[in-house]
Amino acid sequence: MEEVDKGASERITVRRMPERARYERSGIDAILDEGLLAHVGMVTPHGPVVIPMLYARDGGVLYLHGSAASRLLREGRGVQLCVTVSIIDGLVVARSLAHHSMNYRSVVVMGEASPIEDFDEKSRALDILSEHVIPGRVEATRPHQEKEVKGTLVLSMSIDEASAKVRTGPPIDEEEDYLLDTWAGVIPLGIDVGEPIADPRLVSGTPVPEHITEWQR
Amino acid sequence: MEEVDKGASERITVRRMPERARYERSGIDAILDEGLLAHVGMVTPHGPVVIPMLYARDGGVLYLHGSAASRLLREGRGVQLCVTVSIIDGLVVARSLAHHSMNYRSVVVMGEASPIEDFDEKSRALDILSEHVIPGRVEATRPHQEKEVKGTLVLSMSIDEASAKVRTGPPIDEEEDYLLDTWAGVIPLGIDVGEPIADPRLVSGTPVPEHITEWQR
């Protein structure tokens, strides 16, 4: 447990496979910045609920887009969330089934999220959410309309309580299994980006901009 | 809400964008079978927690691999979980930021999960979990050892309460925005599979089997 930062709260401390845990903010930020989708957990009167949500990081703050949590927000109060972002880097193929695994990077952020009320702050948060998914898109589109900003719920939460978990490298097999002639290794996985498909109603002759053709993760 | 099946319980009914909801089991099963990782939510004394977990479907039952829920399991009792599986199919690029979206397929399963106690049933569930990730792997590896099965926690839960949400197709923009010469469309996303990387300790001359070279999703 020597990797555990003294600042890590008890509830965020990784208990299972603690040697895979990371608590430095730079490592946590890098994973958050690369991920596309967060899985956000909340406690409802019906039990736990996990919803995929768009998110973005702005310094030490996480923005979440989506009204899924809106029913849980009470007048002027926040809602307790657990935001998990996972990136799969590969399938770890071992000599025994028990040692199969995945190479992955994941982050868990816990805390209270509150809706952004201020118009300008919310407008800026929407831009940051957009830039997180497609950098360069804000400049390429018309400005927000007032009703668009007002009709959107953006939640904001601090990244104070966060931990990351990372697995890399080849399988770790039982020592005697290394004598077997069973293939073992890693199948690397990433994001495959296809050719952009133009909207059928695109104004004729509109070129595909570079921020679309060059999109990658 | 005409798509809502009468069998859908209140808590599993999709409220946000109900036109994207699906409740037929065949559609739900297809998404569960294609996904690689589930995000599993549970309620802990510290609030909601969401953990990425390996899962597999066996008919109307979902198996979950991982001891993350073990602390919440009480003597002979189950634990309430929300299991969410999401597949991102593309980035939906609209003419205004507000109409940007993702093409995705996601499933939410709610219910009580319990650990499998029976040795043979657990052993079989471990095989099904393995085949979900890499079909053909069970036959290619040595049999489970007793201690491996006994030392692993596998949870089982019914897929009775489940719903899917699906978005496909081009962006839906404001009618007046279709006159803009802003590029719009879809960037298709999928899983990029790299060349298998052999374990450094592989027995020399071991060929890469077809279930590894042909792996795809």
pLDDT tier for residue B3 given thresholds of 50, 70 and 90: very low
pLDDT score for B1: 31
- State the Cα–Cα distance between residues B63 and A16, nearest whole angstrom: 19
pLDDT given for residue A13 in this prediction: 84
Whole-number Cα distances in Å, B170 to A62, A112, B12, B102, B177 = 28, 35, 27, 10, 14
Distance CA A73, CA A136 (A): 32
pLDDT: which is higher, A167 or A6: A167
Tell which residue, B23, B15, B6, B64, has the closest CA to residue B40. Answer: B64
User: Is the pLDDT assigned to residue A203 strictly greater than 90?
Assistant: yes
Please tell me the distance in Å from A111's CA to the nearest CA on chain B: 9
Q: State residue A75's pLDDT score.
A: 66
- With an 8 Å Cβ cutoff, are A104 and B201 in contact? no
Record the tokens describing residue A112, joined without a space. 């209270």
- The C-alpha atoms of residue B52 and residue B83 are separated, in whole angstroms, by 10
Which pLDDT tens digit goes with each residue over A10-54?
888 887 778 888 789 999 999 999 999 999 999 998 899 999 999
pLDDT score of A67 more than 80: no
For B146, the closest chain A residue by CA position comes to A98
Annotate A123-137 with b (16+ C-beta within 10 A) or e (fewer): bbbbbbbbbbbbeeb
Is any Cβ of chain A less than 8 angstroms from the Cβ of B11? yes
Q: What is the C-alpha separation between B163 and B18, in angstroms, rounded?
A: 11
DSSP 8-state symbol, A162? E
Check CB contact under 8 Å for A183 and B46.
Answer: no
Average pLDDT over residues A104-113: 96
pLDDT attached to residue B21: 83
Confidence category of residue B20, pLDDT binned at 50, 70, 90: confident
Token output for B196: 């298998």
Both tokens of A25, joined, read: 């903010």
* Selection from B143, B126, B8 nearest residue B58 by Cα: B126
Percent of chain A predicted with pLDDT > 90: 82
Report the candidate in B63, B36, B212, B49 with the shortest Cα–Cα distance to residue B128.
B63
CA distances B104 to A47, A184, B21, B169, Å, are 25, 32, 12, 10
- Mean pLDDT score of chain A: 92
- For residue B71, what pLDDT band results from cuts at 50, 70 and 90? confident
Mind listing the domains of chain A with CATH numbers?
A: 18-172+186-213 (2.30.110.10)
Query: How far, in Å, CA of A48 to CA of B42, rounded?
Result: 5
More confident residue, B211 or B71: B211
> The whole model's pTM is what?
0.93
**B206/A203 Cα distance (integer angstroms):** 56
A128 SS3 class: helix
Using the beta-carbon criterion (under 8 Å), do B97 and A196 form an inter-chain contact? no
Is A154 a residue whose pLDDT tops 80? yes
Average pLDDT (B188-215) is: 98
Could you give the residue ranges of the DSSP H alpha helices within B65-162? 119-133, 137-140, 146-150
Query: Could you tell me the sign of the dihedral formed by the alpha carbons of A121, A125, A127, A131, in that order?
Result: positive
Helix (H, G, I), strand (E, B) or coil at B132: helix
- Main-chain dihedrals φ then ψ at residue A6, nearest 5 degrees: -65, -25
Interface of A with B in 37-66 (CB under 8 A): 37, 39-44, 46-52, 54, 66
ipTM associated with this complex = 0.93
Report whether pLDDT(B188) > 90.
Answer: yes
Q: Tell me the pLDDT band of B5, cut-offs 50, 70 and 90.
A: very low
**Mean predicted confidence (pLDDT) in B19-24:** 82
Q: Higher-confidence residue: B188 or A21? A: B188
The angle formed by the CA atoms of residues B163, A32 and A208, to the nearest 5 degrees, is: 80
Nearest CA-CA partner of A163 in A2, A6, A8: A8
A172 Cβ under 8 Å from any chain B Cβ: no
Structure tokens at B93: 């690029």
Rounded to a whole number, what is the distance in Å from the CA of B3 to chain A's nearest CA? 20
Choice among A49-63, A101-115, B16-30, B61-75 with the minimum mean pLDDT: B61-75
Residue A38 to residues A20, A33, A56, A63, B51: CA-CA distances in angstroms? 20, 11, 9, 11, 11
Distance CA B29, CA B167 (A): 17
Contact residues, chain A, for B123 at CB < 8 Å: none
Specify whether the CB–CB gap between A52 and B41 falls below 8 A. no
pLDDT of residue B47: 93
Distance CA A152, CA B201 (A): 54
